[in-house]
Amino acid sequence: MENDIRGMLPESVREAFDSIVEQRVLGAGNHISMIGDMIEAIAKRGVDEHRPTAQVIDEVLAVADFFITTRGEASQAVSNAILLMIHDIRSCAGMDMGEAAARIIETKDGYARTAAEAVKQCVAYGVKLARTMERIFVYDYSSTVEKFLRCLKDNGKQYEIYIAESRIIDGGKPFVKACRDAGHKIKFIPDASMMYYLKDCDGAFMGAETFYPDGTGFNTTGSDIVGLICRYYRIPLYFLTPMIKLDIRPVYGGRKKLVYDDLKAKLTAAWGDGADKDGIDFITPELVGVEPGFIRAFVTEKGVIPSGQMYGVSMEYSRNLRGEV
């Protein structure tokens, strides 16, 4: 299936496809943007090669379904965003390819504009929230948190940023450049030493791959440990996330299916060729839930919302998303 979808894509976006599948690029926001690029490339190729409109629509839907089934299983935001980017695409079936491509690209770009504004507002609230802080802890990569780190310079002072390595997917490393560019002092630590260093921080920030209306936030494995440490030391933990990351399924009896990764290659990289690895289980969950009691608030485009008050805001957002309001 994976090879079939890759082969269906224009050559120009196959590298993006590989980067998502192989986790060379992290962050749901980045992945959504790259999937949008794939949709646009398919539409433009349809015009250039005079392909039938129905065929191009089927190609877009096949790529969309692949990422909803794979990447969307870990992050509902990816599924939500894809559904918005391909909204009403079947109505293009009766158009000539040029008109259909323009409609497909405009729908995709319309989502991108709305999403960019939402992230901008999230970041603005986060930067304001951090005005009185000096030392900030960040865990796991998030494109929204990266923007937040870059924009902290607007507060007119130098921060000390504690970055944990997030060993599951090396999620700390991408923050280093952002912090250097913004002029922050950087403390890069192994995730095993989080408890030692978090007590010195004024606040902790992380992104959310997904969150539930009850205020549970999902992020890379280790995030639950951050929550425990923050509660122990009374350090406020903020999930910096646009509302598009909402997973409404638990309200109707559904649940997130956790994705598990085989970390054999990563965890045994230094074992040497002669090491006996047979019979050892290296499987671990990619994401875990952080319960609302460990989270001070969600920083969203709707404001800084205490985790215990997310339900009403989430349900209203969901109704608007479905066009019910």
Quick one: pLDDT at residue 135? 98
Residue 26 reports pLDDT greater than 80 = no
Quick one: pLDDT at residue 65? 94
Sorted by where each begins, the domain ranges of the chain are 2-116, 130-321
pLDDT tens per residue, range 181-205? 999 999 999 888 999 999 999 999 9
In this structure, which CATH number among 3.30.1370, 1.20.120, 3.40.50, 1.10.1200 belongs to the domain 2-116?
1.20.120
List, as own/partner pairs, every contact residues 33-37 make where C-beta atoms lie below 8 angstroms and the sequence separation is at least 24, other chains included. 33/112, 35/63, 35/64, 35/67, 35/71, 35/78, 35/81, 35/82, 35/85, 36/85, 36/108, 36/111, 36/112, 37/13
The per-residue DSSP string of 18-36 comes to HHHHTTSS--HHHHHHHHH
Quick one: pLDDT at residue 78? 87
Q: Is 133 exposed, middle or buried (0-12, 13-18, 19+ CB in 10 A)?
A: middle
pLDDT tens per residue, range 242-257? 998 999 889 999 887 7
Closest to 168 measured CA to CA, from 251, 225, 104: 225
Quick one: pLDDT at residue 156? 95
pLDDT tens per residue, range 272-283? 887 888 899 989
In CATH terms, the superfamily for domain 130-321 is Translation initiation factor eif-2b; domain 2 (3.40.50.10470)
Spatial neighbors of 45 by CB under 8 A, at least 6 apart, are 10, 51, 56
- DSSP state letter for 325: -
Please compute the mean of the pLDDT values over residues 95-101 and round it to a whole number. Answer: 96
Quick one: pLDDT at residue 323? 59
Residue 167 reports pLDDT greater than 80 = no
Q: What is the pTM of this model?
A: 0.78
Range with lowest mean pLDDT among 112-126, 237-251, 267-281? 267-281
Amino acid at 98: G
